[in-house]
Amino acid sequence: MSAEVDLGGRWRLHPQVALRPERFGALAYHFGSRRLSFLKSRRLLDVVEGLEAAPDPIAACRAAGVPEAELPSYRRALATLAETEMIVRI
Amino acid sequence: MRLVEEFEAGLAAPICITWELTYACNLACVHCLSSSGRRDPRELTTAEAKAVISELERMQVFYVNVGGGEPTVRRDFWELLDHAAAHNVGVKFSTNGSRIDAAAAARLAASDYVDVQVSIDGATAAVNDAVRGPGSFDTALGALERLAAAGFERPKISVVVTRQNAGQLDAFKAIADRYGAQLRITRLRPSGRGADVWDDLHPTAEQQRSLYMWLLEHGEEVLTGDSFFHLSAYGEALPGLNLCGAGRVVCLIDPVGDVYACPFAIHQEFLAGNVREPRGFEGVWRDSELFARLRAPRSGGACESCGHYDACRGGCMAAKFFTGLPLDGPDPECALGHGERLLAARGAEVAIPAPAVDHSRVRPPARPPAKVCDENPLADFLARA
Ligand code: SF4
Ligand code: SF4
């Protein structure tokens, strides 16, 4: 399923989603769907916060310093966030 | 660190916080976890409650579970609800339904930030009313009808599983479907007045196993508030965090502002502080000694050698505490039967901690002896049921 999400183009946090930083990463809460998700690293939090300023999510990963080898796992995490509409296309 | 270990070490703010707004209640359910009945004159004022909401907003506590008592009997209930919504704190409130008239239902349907949970503890009036009082079943269904008529989407029906209703799970599901509601089933714990009736009301081992099977089958559609993780030891782990969140990701603010580690642990032993202190709720959550202790690595005691420890983690702290079992051992309802053996071996000298706070209107003069209880406190009810 996740593999099918096309992560091209510009994305951002859904306007109804709030992020709460935690030691392990962050909680993401969607006030519309009342869904709670976990961002499981601080770097993923940086990536999500940097989405809007980046031309596409992969560029946001690079800007946040995600090593090349970890890009696939970050891509999966972002795809999951896209499926649950925690992040949306601009 | 695995996520569950991160949670055990505590978060910057709770994920699941219960706020009992008042000890006043028009019902007198025999198993009430907060021993509610009469209002406490020291309950938080409107201004103090609003200050708590501001703190929750600042701490990014995204939603609170509001209960009581019956929260809607507070005269400022609607004011507080609106205030919370305006401050990005979603509210999920539990009610017996008695005050959800057409106007209240319409008001709730108009709000985006409110979830409603109507409690029933039997799928038939006989089973429900034996525990919650005469007429309470019809009252609850009436509220669900009015919510549906007002267009309130997907309220929740909240059920505490007991020996008397454990066979009615499908019937509860049918009721929920009939009202377009979502079913939420939770565990009966020996907390508050629940301690008086636990011996007679808590599901048998046989029923626990059936419950576990039922949850495996319906896990997706039914909410449990993660309350049955101790049943994971029957087989595969149930979905959820599978940990005791007390003081780590869970806490309770009671009507007088006292902060306890968990809504099922209203006892001096688990009292962390009060929101009226200068450090406020945030300070209590971050700095209380009790919470620091609960977040420190703990031994699993007798459970550590158990093959199911990873998912079960020794079960519920409150259930152990209020049955007089060691906190670092098996749950009284341990799926392997260790709890039952411990309960049976419990000597008369074991002092069962009594709840420190009791607002019941009527209460039996003495608590029944812990072990062999000849006198069934439910005898009257059961005869009628
Ligand atoms: S004490 Fe029991 S009810 Fe409270 S958080 Fe722990 S497991 Fe849950
Ligand atoms: S022995 Fe402890 S960990 Fe094992 S199933 Fe029983 S309560 Fe759970």
CA nearest B115: which of B83, B140, B141, B147? B147
Ligand 2 centre distance from Cα of residue B354 (Å): 25
Number of the ligand 1 atom closest to the C-alpha atom of B263: 4
pLDDT tens readout for residues B294-324: 999 988 889 999 999 988 999 999 999 999 9
Chain A residues lying within 8 Å of B11, measured CB to CB? 22-23, 27
Model confidence, pTM: 0.90
Phi-psi region of B273 (alpha: psi -120 to 50; beta: other; left: phi over 0): left
How would you classify the pairing of strands B156-161 and B114-119?
parallel
Chain B residues lying within 8 Å of A35, measured CB to CB? none
Residue ranges of chain A with per-residue pLDDT less than 50: 1-2
Q: Which CATH number fits domain A11-89: 3.50.50, 3.30.70, 3.90.930, 3.30.750?
A: 3.90.930
3-state secondary structure (DSSP) of residue A21: strand
Residue B379 confidence (pLDDT) above 80: no
CA nearest B357: which of B92, B42, B26? B42
pLDDT tens readout for residues B65-121: 999 899 999 999 999 999 999 999 999 999 999 999 999 999 999 988 899 999 999
State how far the Cα of B303 lies from the Cα of B316, in Å rounded to an integer: 12
pLDDT tens readout for residues B236-285: 888 777 889 999 999 999 999 999 999 999 999 999 999 999 999 999 99
B63 and A24 within 8 Å at the Cβ level: the answer is no
On whether ipTM exceeds 0.90, the answer is no
Candidate from B3, B6, B62 with C-beta closest to A18: B62
Instruction: Give me the pLDDT at residue A62, please.
Output: 96
Instruction: Give me the pLDDT at residue B363, please.
Output: 57
Identify the residue among B5, B17, B59, B62 best suited for mutation to test binding to A, counting A beta carbons within 10 A and taking the highest: B62
> What does the domain layout of chain A look like in residue ranges?
11-89
Ligand 2 centre distance from Cα of residue B124 (Å): 34
B11 and A18 within 8 Å at the Cβ level: the answer is no
Chain B residues lying within 8 Å of A34, measured CB to CB? 63, 90, 115
Sheet containing B16-22: which strands, arranged edge to edge? B182-187, B156-161, B114-119, B90-95, B63-68, B16-22, B250-253, B258-260, B271-274
Tokens of B194: 């629940």
How would you classify the pairing of strands A87-89 and A35-39?
unpaired
Check CB contact of A33 with chain B, cutoff 8 Å: no
Burial of B40 (0-12, 13-18, 19+ CB in 10 A): middle
Mean model confidence pLDDT for chain B: 90
State how far the Cα of B356 lies from the Cα of B114, in Å rounded to an integer: 32
